[in-house]
Structure 1
Amino acid sequence: MSVQTRIEEKLASLEPVYLAVENESHMHHVPPDSETHFKVTLVSARFEGLMPVKRHQTIYATLADELAGPVHALALHLYTPQQWQTRGESRPDSPNCRGGGGR
């Protein structure tokens, strides 16, 4: 099973209204077909009343095995349904990577 699939399955436990797990490894200085850099956009009513740090901690706990192993970087964009609607239901773009070592 791919790392991305494992992440998606584990994050489903948070009952997302919207979930996008994007493998952004190709944008970084890693071998082809790597699964090391991900962007997660997750919208869940479970985030109601939680400060951003607590939302991140929830994800870190859920993905502890992946973060201890193959996942090197994880960009998190976590919203309540109301926040997501206010954003116009759009995901933020990722910045361009300069390719390891600032090249």
Structure 2
Amino acid sequence: MTGTVQPVLEQIRERLQAAFAPSELEVLDEGHKHAGHAGEGKGHFHVRIISAAFAGQPPIKCHRMVYAVLDGLMNDGIHALSIDAKAE
């Protein structure tokens, strides 16, 4: 991982852990898949998260919950984010 992406990845992980207390959390840096793509210099990430906080919520609501927790990073560090959020 590059020096500029690692802190963002850790911030994503820490924020999601604090907000959702997930039973499973995986944050992957997928920047290598987007070399030369618009938004270079910011990260491309994939989040897989399983949490009781998503119980009874439709997928779009789960995604909105994740985006809300990562709000400040969406304009400063994250260019693209794919989310796989599920309830326990």
TM tier relative to shorter chain:
0.7 to 0.9
Question: Offset of 1:55 from its aligned partner?
Answer: 0.4
Instruction: State the Cα RMSD in Å.
Output: 1.7
1:61 aligns to what?
Answer: 68
Q: Which has the higher strand share?
A: 2
Question: Offset of 1:35 from its aligned partner?
Answer: 5.1
TM-score normalized by the length of structure 2: 0.83
Q: Which has the higher helix share?
A: 2
Residue type at the aligned position of 1:28: H
Q: Which runs of 4+ in 1 moved over 6 A?
A: none
Pick from 10, 21, 36 the counterpart of residue 15 of structure 1: 21
Gaps of 5+ in 1: 82-103
Q: Percent identity?
A: 33
1:88 aligns to what?
Answer: none
Question: Offset of 1:77 from its aligned partner?
Answer: 0.2
Conservation of the 8 A alpha-carbon contact between 1:19 and 1:42? yes
Gaps of 5+ in 2: 1-5
Give, in whole Å, the separation in 2 of the partners of 1:15 and 1:35. 26
TM-score normalized by the length of structure 1: 0.71
**Which has the larger Rg?**
1
How many residues align? The count is 79
